[in-house]
Amino acid sequence: MRGKFTGMFAVLVAAVALLLSPAQSQASADNFIFGLLMVGPANDHGWSQAHFEAGKEIEKNIPGSKMIYIDKVNPADRPGVTIPFLVDDLVSKGAKLIIGNSDDMTDGIREAAMLHPDIKFIHISGDDALNPDAPENLSNLMGKMEYGQMMAGFAAAMTTQTGKIGYLGPLINDETKRLAVSCFLGARYVWTEVLKKDPATLTFKITWIGFWFNIPGVTSDPTQVAKNFFDSGYDVVISGIDTTEALIVADQKKREGADVTAIPYDYEGACETAPDACLGVPYFNWYPGYSHFINSIKNNNWKKEWLWLGPDWKDMSNTRKSSISFKNGKALSGDVQAKLAVFAKGLGDESISLFTGPLNFQDKSVFLKEGETATEMQIWNMPQLLEGMEGASE
Protein backbone atom coordinates (compact mmCIF):
# COMPACT_ATOMS: atom_id res chain seq x y z
CA MET A 1 0.00 0.00 0.00
CA ARG A 2 2.81 2.34 0.95
CA GLY A 3 4.41 1.77 -2.44
CA LYS A 4 1.17 2.63 -4.17
CA PHE A 5 0.95 5.94 -2.33
CA THR A 6 4.58 6.75 -3.15
CA GLY A 7 3.80 6.04 -6.79
CA MET A 8 0.72 8.26 -6.71
CA PHE A 9 2.71 11.03 -5.07
CA ALA A 10 5.39 10.77 -7.77
CA VAL A 11 2.75 10.98 -10.52
CA LEU A 12 1.22 14.00 -8.81
CA VAL A 13 4.59 15.77 -8.58
CA ALA A 14 5.31 14.99 -12.23
CA ALA A 15 1.90 16.34 -13.26
CA VAL A 16 2.48 19.52 -11.30
CA ALA A 17 5.93 19.95 -12.84
CA LEU A 18 4.43 19.41 -16.29
CA LEU A 19 1.75 22.00 -15.67
CA LEU A 20 4.23 24.49 -14.36
CA SER A 21 6.70 24.06 -17.18
CA PRO A 22 5.19 26.33 -19.84
CA ALA A 23 6.21 29.85 -18.99
CA GLN A 24 3.55 32.56 -18.88
CA SER A 25 3.24 34.17 -22.25
CA GLN A 26 5.56 37.11 -22.57
CA ALA A 27 5.61 39.91 -25.07
CA SER A 28 8.07 39.54 -27.88
CA ALA A 29 10.11 42.58 -28.88
CA ASP A 30 7.76 43.56 -31.75
CA ASN A 31 4.50 43.02 -29.92
CA PHE A 32 2.66 45.62 -27.97
CA ILE A 33 0.26 44.03 -25.54
CA PHE A 34 -2.36 46.15 -23.86
CA GLY A 35 -4.82 45.03 -21.22
CA LEU A 36 -8.43 46.17 -21.09
CA LEU A 37 -10.49 45.95 -17.90
CA MET A 38 -14.19 46.37 -18.64
CA VAL A 39 -16.74 47.03 -15.96
CA GLY A 40 -19.55 45.25 -17.80
CA PRO A 41 -19.86 42.38 -20.26
CA ALA A 42 -17.94 42.74 -23.52
CA ASN A 43 -21.20 42.21 -25.43
CA ASP A 44 -23.45 44.57 -23.48
CA HIS A 45 -24.45 46.61 -26.57
CA GLY A 46 -23.31 49.57 -24.53
CA TRP A 47 -20.32 51.09 -22.78
CA SER A 48 -18.10 48.03 -22.48
CA GLN A 49 -18.76 46.77 -25.98
CA ALA A 50 -17.76 50.19 -27.38
CA HIS A 51 -14.40 49.81 -25.59
CA PHE A 52 -13.99 46.20 -26.62
CA GLU A 53 -14.56 46.98 -30.28
CA ALA A 54 -12.15 49.91 -30.16
CA GLY A 55 -9.56 47.50 -28.78
CA LYS A 56 -10.26 45.12 -31.66
CA GLU A 57 -9.85 47.99 -34.14
CA ILE A 58 -6.52 48.85 -32.54
CA GLU A 59 -5.39 45.24 -33.04
CA LYS A 60 -6.35 45.47 -36.71
CA ASN A 61 -4.78 48.84 -37.39
CA ILE A 62 -1.69 49.14 -35.22
CA PRO A 63 0.77 46.45 -36.30
CA GLY A 64 1.96 44.19 -33.51
CA SER A 65 -0.66 45.31 -31.03
CA LYS A 66 -2.53 42.68 -29.09
CA MET A 67 -5.34 43.08 -26.62
CA ILE A 68 -5.86 40.95 -23.55
CA TYR A 69 -9.01 41.72 -21.67
CA ILE A 70 -11.36 40.82 -18.93
CA ASP A 71 -14.94 41.95 -18.64
CA LYS A 72 -17.45 42.17 -15.78
CA VAL A 73 -14.84 43.72 -13.52
CA ASN A 74 -17.02 44.77 -10.64
CA PRO A 75 -17.39 43.37 -7.13
CA ALA A 76 -20.86 42.00 -7.77
CA ASP A 77 -19.84 39.89 -10.79
CA ARG A 78 -16.38 39.01 -9.55
CA PRO A 79 -16.50 38.95 -5.76
CA GLY A 80 -13.11 39.10 -4.13
CA VAL A 81 -11.35 40.26 -7.28
CA THR A 82 -9.68 43.66 -7.07
CA ILE A 83 -8.24 45.90 -9.78
CA PRO A 84 -4.60 45.61 -8.56
CA PHE A 85 -5.04 41.82 -8.59
CA LEU A 86 -6.15 41.83 -12.23
CA VAL A 87 -3.48 44.32 -13.22
CA ASP A 88 -0.81 42.07 -11.69
CA ASP A 89 -2.07 39.30 -13.89
CA LEU A 90 -2.25 41.32 -17.10
CA VAL A 91 1.24 42.67 -16.48
CA SER A 92 2.54 39.15 -15.95
CA LYS A 93 1.18 38.36 -19.42
CA GLY A 94 3.23 41.13 -20.94
CA ALA A 95 0.82 44.08 -20.94
CA LYS A 96 2.61 47.42 -21.29
CA LEU A 97 -0.55 49.48 -21.05
CA ILE A 98 -3.62 48.93 -18.90
CA ILE A 99 -6.94 50.57 -19.70
CA GLY A 100 -9.56 50.68 -16.93
CA ASN A 101 -12.88 51.63 -18.48
CA SER A 102 -14.91 52.73 -15.50
CA ASP A 103 -15.13 55.58 -13.08
CA ASP A 104 -15.80 52.83 -10.56
CA MET A 105 -12.16 51.71 -10.94
CA THR A 106 -10.65 55.03 -9.83
CA ASP A 107 -9.15 53.79 -6.57
CA GLY A 108 -7.96 50.46 -7.97
CA ILE A 109 -6.28 51.96 -11.04
CA ARG A 110 -4.58 54.60 -8.89
CA GLU A 111 -3.25 51.89 -6.57
CA ALA A 112 -2.16 49.66 -9.46
CA ALA A 113 -0.39 52.60 -11.16
CA MET A 114 1.65 53.13 -8.01
CA LEU A 115 2.45 49.40 -7.75
CA HIS A 116 3.59 49.23 -11.40
CA PRO A 117 5.47 52.45 -12.20
CA ASP A 118 6.90 50.97 -15.43
CA ILE A 119 3.48 50.22 -16.87
CA LYS A 120 1.30 52.91 -18.41
CA PHE A 121 -2.32 53.30 -17.38
CA ILE A 122 -5.33 54.97 -18.97
CA HIS A 123 -8.26 55.51 -16.71
CA ILE A 124 -11.44 56.28 -18.56
CA SER A 125 -13.48 59.16 -17.23
CA GLY A 126 -11.30 60.10 -14.25
CA ASP A 127 -9.23 63.22 -13.85
CA ASP A 128 -6.19 62.11 -11.81
CA ALA A 129 -3.87 63.45 -14.49
CA LEU A 130 -4.96 66.97 -13.60
CA ASN A 131 -3.44 66.46 -10.16
CA PRO A 132 0.31 67.25 -10.20
CA ASP A 133 0.87 64.68 -7.42
CA ALA A 134 -0.74 61.84 -9.39
CA PRO A 135 1.60 59.15 -10.78
CA GLU A 136 3.29 60.04 -14.08
CA ASN A 137 2.24 56.71 -15.62
CA LEU A 138 -1.49 57.42 -15.27
CA SER A 139 -3.46 59.38 -17.89
CA ASN A 140 -7.17 59.98 -18.32
CA LEU A 141 -9.36 59.72 -21.37
CA MET A 142 -12.98 60.68 -21.90
CA GLY A 143 -15.18 61.69 -24.79
CA LYS A 144 -17.22 64.88 -24.87
CA MET A 145 -20.47 62.99 -24.77
CA GLU A 146 -22.16 66.19 -23.69
CA TYR A 147 -22.63 66.93 -27.41
CA GLY A 148 -24.08 63.47 -28.03
CA GLN A 149 -26.48 63.90 -25.12
CA MET A 150 -27.53 67.36 -26.31
CA MET A 151 -28.46 65.71 -29.59
CA ALA A 152 -30.30 62.96 -27.72
CA GLY A 153 -32.23 65.60 -25.77
CA PHE A 154 -32.99 67.38 -29.03
CA ALA A 155 -34.31 64.21 -30.68
CA ALA A 156 -36.37 63.34 -27.60
CA ALA A 157 -37.97 66.76 -27.30
CA MET A 158 -38.77 66.90 -31.01
CA THR A 159 -40.50 63.52 -30.72
CA THR A 160 -42.39 63.65 -27.42
CA GLN A 161 -46.11 64.20 -27.66
CA THR A 162 -46.74 64.42 -23.93
CA GLY A 163 -43.92 66.80 -23.13
CA LYS A 164 -42.60 64.32 -20.61
CA ILE A 165 -39.09 62.94 -21.07
CA GLY A 166 -37.65 60.36 -18.69
CA TYR A 167 -33.93 59.90 -18.09
CA LEU A 168 -32.74 56.55 -16.83
CA GLY A 169 -29.70 57.59 -14.81
CA PRO A 170 -26.92 55.35 -13.49
CA LEU A 171 -25.27 56.57 -10.28
CA ILE A 172 -24.85 60.16 -9.19
CA ASN A 173 -21.51 61.81 -9.81
CA ASP A 174 -20.17 64.82 -11.69
CA GLU A 175 -20.01 62.92 -14.98
CA THR A 176 -23.57 61.64 -14.86
CA LYS A 177 -24.89 65.00 -13.72
CA ARG A 178 -23.24 66.86 -16.62
CA LEU A 179 -24.53 64.29 -19.12
CA ALA A 180 -28.08 64.52 -17.79
CA VAL A 181 -27.79 68.30 -17.81
CA SER A 182 -26.62 68.22 -21.44
CA CYS A 183 -29.63 66.13 -22.38
CA PHE A 184 -31.91 68.53 -20.62
CA LEU A 185 -30.33 71.53 -22.33
CA GLY A 186 -30.82 69.90 -25.74
CA ALA A 187 -34.47 69.25 -24.93
CA ARG A 188 -35.00 72.74 -23.54
CA TYR A 189 -33.44 74.25 -26.65
CA VAL A 190 -36.09 72.50 -28.74
CA TRP A 191 -38.84 73.66 -26.41
CA THR A 192 -37.87 77.30 -26.36
CA GLU A 193 -36.07 77.89 -29.66
CA VAL A 194 -37.61 75.44 -32.11
CA LEU A 195 -41.14 74.81 -30.85
CA LYS A 196 -41.42 78.20 -29.09
CA LYS A 197 -43.18 76.67 -26.11
CA ASP A 198 -43.16 77.62 -22.47
CA PRO A 199 -40.22 75.79 -20.82
CA ALA A 200 -42.44 75.17 -17.78
CA THR A 201 -44.49 72.74 -19.88
CA LEU A 202 -41.48 70.47 -20.44
CA THR A 203 -41.06 67.74 -17.86
CA PHE A 204 -37.58 66.21 -17.63
CA LYS A 205 -37.30 63.66 -14.87
CA ILE A 206 -34.28 61.59 -13.83
CA THR A 207 -34.40 58.36 -11.88
CA TRP A 208 -31.01 57.08 -10.78
CA ILE A 209 -30.65 53.30 -10.45
CA GLY A 210 -27.41 53.35 -8.43
CA PHE A 211 -24.89 51.86 -10.86
CA TRP A 212 -24.03 51.65 -14.54
CA PHE A 213 -26.09 48.52 -15.01
CA ASN A 214 -28.53 46.38 -13.16
CA ILE A 215 -27.22 44.42 -10.17
CA PRO A 216 -30.16 42.48 -8.76
CA GLY A 217 -30.77 43.24 -5.12
CA VAL A 218 -28.33 46.14 -5.15
CA THR A 219 -29.47 48.66 -7.76
CA SER A 220 -32.98 49.66 -8.76
CA ASP A 221 -34.17 47.51 -11.64
CA PRO A 222 -33.80 49.58 -14.85
CA THR A 223 -36.52 47.58 -16.57
CA GLN A 224 -38.93 48.49 -13.80
CA VAL A 225 -37.83 52.13 -13.82
CA ALA A 226 -38.35 52.36 -17.59
CA LYS A 227 -41.79 50.73 -17.26
CA ASN A 228 -42.73 53.23 -14.57
CA PHE A 229 -41.75 56.09 -16.86
CA PHE A 230 -43.88 54.82 -19.72
CA ASP A 231 -46.79 53.95 -17.44
CA SER A 232 -46.88 57.46 -16.03
CA GLY A 233 -47.10 59.32 -19.31
CA TYR A 234 -43.45 59.69 -20.32
CA ASP A 235 -43.31 58.78 -24.00
CA VAL A 236 -39.55 59.08 -24.55
CA VAL A 237 -36.96 57.61 -22.22
CA ILE A 238 -33.31 58.49 -22.64
CA SER A 239 -30.89 55.98 -21.17
CA GLY A 240 -27.76 57.04 -19.37
CA ILE A 241 -26.85 53.52 -18.27
CA ASP A 242 -24.58 51.05 -20.02
CA THR A 243 -27.23 48.56 -21.05
CA THR A 244 -30.34 48.69 -23.23
CA GLU A 245 -33.26 48.05 -20.87
CA ALA A 246 -35.01 51.36 -21.72
CA LEU A 247 -35.03 50.47 -25.41
CA ILE A 248 -36.24 46.93 -24.79
CA VAL A 249 -39.12 48.15 -22.62
CA ALA A 250 -40.00 50.83 -25.19
CA ASP A 251 -40.11 48.15 -27.86
CA GLN A 252 -42.41 45.98 -25.73
CA LYS A 253 -44.72 48.93 -25.09
CA LYS A 254 -44.71 49.80 -28.77
CA ARG A 255 -45.75 46.28 -29.66
CA GLU A 256 -48.61 46.66 -27.18
CA GLY A 257 -49.73 49.71 -29.15
CA ALA A 258 -48.18 52.56 -27.15
CA ASP A 259 -46.55 55.41 -29.05
CA VAL A 260 -43.28 55.43 -27.16
CA THR A 261 -39.61 55.52 -28.04
CA ALA A 262 -36.23 55.38 -26.33
CA ILE A 263 -32.66 56.48 -26.81
CA PRO A 264 -29.96 54.05 -25.66
CA TYR A 265 -26.41 55.09 -24.89
CA ASP A 266 -22.72 54.41 -25.55
CA TYR A 267 -22.53 51.94 -28.39
CA GLU A 268 -23.03 52.52 -32.10
CA GLY A 269 -24.96 49.31 -32.58
CA ALA A 270 -27.25 49.77 -29.57
CA CYS A 271 -30.34 50.49 -31.70
CA GLU A 272 -30.07 47.04 -33.30
CA THR A 273 -31.59 45.59 -30.12
CA ALA A 274 -34.98 47.09 -31.00
CA PRO A 275 -34.74 49.34 -34.08
CA ASP A 276 -38.45 50.19 -34.32
CA ALA A 277 -38.45 51.91 -30.93
CA CYS A 278 -35.08 53.62 -31.27
CA LEU A 279 -34.76 57.33 -31.97
CA GLY A 280 -31.00 57.06 -32.22
CA VAL A 281 -27.96 56.62 -30.05
CA PRO A 282 -25.21 58.93 -28.89
CA TYR A 283 -22.09 56.82 -28.94
CA PHE A 284 -18.41 56.79 -28.11
CA ASN A 285 -15.65 55.85 -30.46
CA TRP A 286 -12.59 55.09 -28.35
CA TYR A 287 -10.23 54.43 -31.22
CA PRO A 288 -8.79 57.97 -31.52
CA GLY A 289 -8.02 58.13 -27.78
CA TYR A 290 -6.60 54.63 -27.54
CA SER A 291 -4.43 55.04 -30.62
CA HIS A 292 -3.11 58.37 -29.36
CA PHE A 293 -1.83 56.81 -26.14
CA ILE A 294 -0.57 53.59 -27.72
CA ASN A 295 1.37 55.50 -30.35
CA SER A 296 2.83 57.76 -27.68
CA ILE A 297 4.10 54.71 -25.79
CA LYS A 298 5.47 53.09 -28.94
CA ASN A 299 7.19 56.34 -29.91
CA ASN A 300 8.55 56.85 -26.41
CA ASN A 301 6.86 60.19 -25.94
CA TRP A 302 4.28 59.26 -23.31
CA LYS A 303 3.31 62.03 -20.98
CA LYS A 304 0.66 62.26 -18.31
CA GLU A 305 -2.41 63.69 -20.03
CA TRP A 306 -6.04 64.40 -19.40
CA LEU A 307 -7.78 64.01 -22.74
CA TRP A 308 -11.40 65.01 -23.21
CA LEU A 309 -11.96 64.38 -26.90
CA GLY A 310 -14.87 65.74 -28.86
CA PRO A 311 -16.56 65.00 -32.16
CA ASP A 312 -15.00 65.64 -35.53
CA TRP A 313 -17.59 68.17 -36.64
CA LYS A 314 -16.69 67.72 -40.31
CA ASP A 315 -17.65 64.07 -40.16
CA MET A 316 -18.90 62.75 -36.84
CA SER A 317 -18.93 59.18 -38.12
CA ASN A 318 -15.22 59.25 -38.95
CA THR A 319 -13.96 56.39 -36.83
CA ARG A 320 -10.35 57.56 -37.01
CA LYS A 321 -10.97 61.09 -35.80
CA SER A 322 -14.32 61.51 -34.10
CA SER A 323 -14.59 60.35 -30.51
CA ILE A 324 -18.29 61.14 -30.25
CA SER A 325 -21.18 60.73 -32.62
CA PHE A 326 -24.93 60.30 -32.84
CA LYS A 327 -26.50 57.66 -35.02
CA ASN A 328 -30.08 58.26 -36.11
CA GLY A 329 -32.55 55.49 -35.34
CA LYS A 330 -35.38 54.09 -37.42
CA ALA A 331 -38.00 55.71 -35.20
CA LEU A 332 -36.65 59.22 -35.75
CA SER A 333 -38.69 60.94 -38.47
CA GLY A 334 -36.96 62.32 -41.56
CA ASP A 335 -38.02 65.84 -40.67
CA VAL A 336 -36.47 65.61 -37.20
CA GLN A 337 -33.34 64.04 -38.66
CA ALA A 338 -32.92 67.09 -40.90
CA LYS A 339 -33.47 69.48 -37.98
CA LEU A 340 -31.05 67.48 -35.83
CA ALA A 341 -28.37 67.82 -38.53
CA VAL A 342 -28.84 71.60 -38.47
CA PHE A 343 -28.64 71.57 -34.67
CA ALA A 344 -25.41 69.52 -34.78
CA LYS A 345 -23.94 71.97 -37.29
CA GLY A 346 -24.79 74.80 -34.91
CA LEU A 347 -23.07 73.02 -32.05
CA GLY A 348 -20.02 72.46 -34.24
CA ASP A 349 -19.66 76.04 -35.41
CA GLU A 350 -20.56 77.27 -31.92
CA SER A 351 -23.50 79.29 -33.15
CA ILE A 352 -25.45 77.24 -30.64
CA SER A 353 -23.90 77.20 -27.17
CA LEU A 354 -26.14 75.55 -24.63
CA PHE A 355 -23.85 76.02 -21.63
CA THR A 356 -24.43 79.75 -21.77
CA GLY A 357 -26.30 81.72 -19.11
CA PRO A 358 -28.61 82.52 -17.67
CA LEU A 359 -28.71 79.08 -16.08
CA ASN A 360 -29.56 78.22 -12.50
CA PHE A 361 -28.83 75.14 -10.49
CA GLN A 362 -31.60 72.99 -9.14
CA ASP A 363 -31.42 74.80 -5.79
CA LYS A 364 -32.00 78.11 -7.67
CA SER A 365 -28.45 79.32 -7.11
CA VAL A 366 -26.78 80.84 -10.17
CA PHE A 367 -24.71 78.55 -12.35
CA LEU A 368 -24.09 80.96 -15.24
CA LYS A 369 -25.03 84.62 -15.41
CA GLU A 370 -26.67 86.15 -18.47
CA GLY A 371 -24.30 85.74 -21.41
CA GLU A 372 -21.68 83.82 -19.41
CA THR A 373 -20.38 80.62 -21.02
CA ALA A 374 -19.25 77.70 -18.87
CA THR A 375 -15.59 76.73 -18.85
CA GLU A 376 -14.59 73.12 -19.51
CA MET A 377 -13.90 72.63 -15.82
CA GLN A 378 -17.28 74.06 -14.81
CA ILE A 379 -18.94 71.51 -17.05
CA TRP A 380 -16.60 68.67 -16.01
CA ASN A 381 -17.25 69.25 -12.32
CA MET A 382 -21.00 69.72 -12.55
CA PRO A 383 -22.09 70.03 -8.92
CA GLN A 384 -25.86 69.88 -9.37
CA LEU A 385 -28.66 69.33 -11.83
CA LEU A 386 -30.26 72.44 -13.30
CA GLU A 387 -33.42 74.30 -12.49
CA GLY A 388 -36.27 72.68 -14.40
CA MET A 389 -34.93 69.14 -14.00
CA GLU A 390 -36.62 66.69 -11.62
CA GLY A 391 -34.46 64.19 -9.76
CA ALA A 392 -31.81 63.96 -7.08
CA SER A 393 -28.57 65.93 -7.36
CA GLU A 394 -26.78 63.97 -4.67
Partner 1 sequence: MKKLILDILLGSLLVFSFTYIVLLIAGAPVLDAFKHIWLGAFASSIKISQVLSVWVPLTLCSCGLLFTFRANLWNIGIEGQVTMGAIGAMAVLRTPVIDNPTLILCLAFLTSMLCGGAWGLFAGLLKTRGGVHEIFGGLGLNFVSQGFILWLIFGPWKRPGIASMSGTELLNRKLWLASLPGWRVATAGIVIAIAILILTWLFLEKSRLGLKLKAIGQNPKAALLYAISPERYYLQSILIAGSCAGIAGFIQTTGVYHRLIPSISSGYGYLALLLVMLSGYKIVLIPILAFFFASLNVGAIQLPIVLQLDSALSGVIQGCCVLCALFILGIRQRRAQP
Q: Which of residues 200-259 bind partner 1 (CB under 8 A)?
A: 208, 210-211, 215, 217-219
Among 59, 62, 78, 379, binds partner 1 (CB under 8 A): 78
Distance CA 311, CA 157 (A): 22
- Give the nearer residue to partner 1 in terms of CB position, either 79 or 334: 79
Cβ–Cβ < 8 Å for 48, 242: yes
Among 221, 305, 383, 390, binds partner 1 (CB under 8 A): 383
Distance CA 155, CA 186 (A): 8
Among 84, 269, 310, 346, binds partner 1 (CB under 8 A): 84
DSSP state of 237: E
* Least distance to partner 1, CB of residue 19, Å: 5
Question: Quick one: which segment of 102-110, 232-240, 267-275, 348-356 binds partner 1 (CB under 8 A)?
Answer: 102-110
Question: Quick one: which segment of 90-98, 287-295, 297-305, 354-362 binds partner 1 (CB under 8 A)?
Answer: 90-98
Question: Quick one: which segment of 170-178, 197-205, 236-244, 276-284 binds partner 1 (CB under 8 A)?
Answer: 170-178
The answer to whether residue 24 forms part of the interface with partner 1 (CB under 8 A) is yes
Cβ–Cβ < 8 Å for 37, 97: no
Distance CA 125, CA 137 (A): 16
Burial letters for 65-101: b for 16+ Cβ neighbours within 10 Å, e otherwise?
A: bbbbbebbbbeeeeeeebbbebbeebbeebbbbbbbb
- Give the nearer residue to partner 1 in terms of CB position, either 10 or 341: 10
Among 3, 17, 22, 132, binds partner 1 (CB under 8 A): 22
Distance CA 228, CA 230 (A): 6
The answer to whether residue 174 forms part of the interface with partner 1 (CB under 8 A) is yes
* 231 CB-near residues (< 8 Å, 6+ apart): none
Q: Residue 328 forms beta bridges with which residues? A: 280
* 72 CB-near residues (< 8 Å, 6+ apart): 38, 39, 40, 41, 78
The answer to whether residue 379 forms part of the interface with partner 1 (CB under 8 A) is no
Q: Site residues (CB under 8 A) for partner 1?
A: 1, 5, 8, 16, 19-20, 22, 24, 68-72, 75-76, 78-82, 84-86, 88-90, 92-93, 103-104, 107, 171-174, 208, 210-211, 215, 217-219, 383, 392, 394
